[in-house]
Amino acid sequence: LTSKRGDALLLGAATGAAAAVVAYAAVRGAERALFLEPNPAMLIGSDRSPFAWRSAIALYLGGAAVFGGYALAVRSPPAAARAMLALVAAAVAAILVQGALLP
């Protein structure tokens, strides 16, 4: 890998990681806001962990964002770096808001 390609890949991966956090907050928020959850006292057992499933969906969406981050980084590394910063800030805000309001 050339240095430029390697940098772009790193930026793409970082974008994906930040996007996965935003996606997790969005998925959990949507779940809490739109769908009724079973009463834990009534739930006898579940064959899959809802947390692990949400995380898998968030990773899938984050994985899709890797392509966008990489494409932007190849075209314009400074723009990708700026977008990265904004996305990290958005991820922190989203996970804090979700954790506080829709845990």
Residues that bind other proteins (CB under 8 A): 34-35, 47-48, 53, 56-57, 60, 63-64, 67, 70-71
Nearest distance in Å: CB 62, other proteins: 11
Nearest distance in Å: CB 60, other proteins: 6
Residue 95 CB-density burial (10 A; 0-12 exposed, 13-18 middle, 19+ buried): middle
The three-state secondary structure class of 72 is: helix
Q: Which is nearer to other proteins, 51 or 67 (CB)?
A: 67
Q: What is the Cα gyration radius of the chain?
A: 17
Nearest distance in Å: CB 78, other proteins: 19
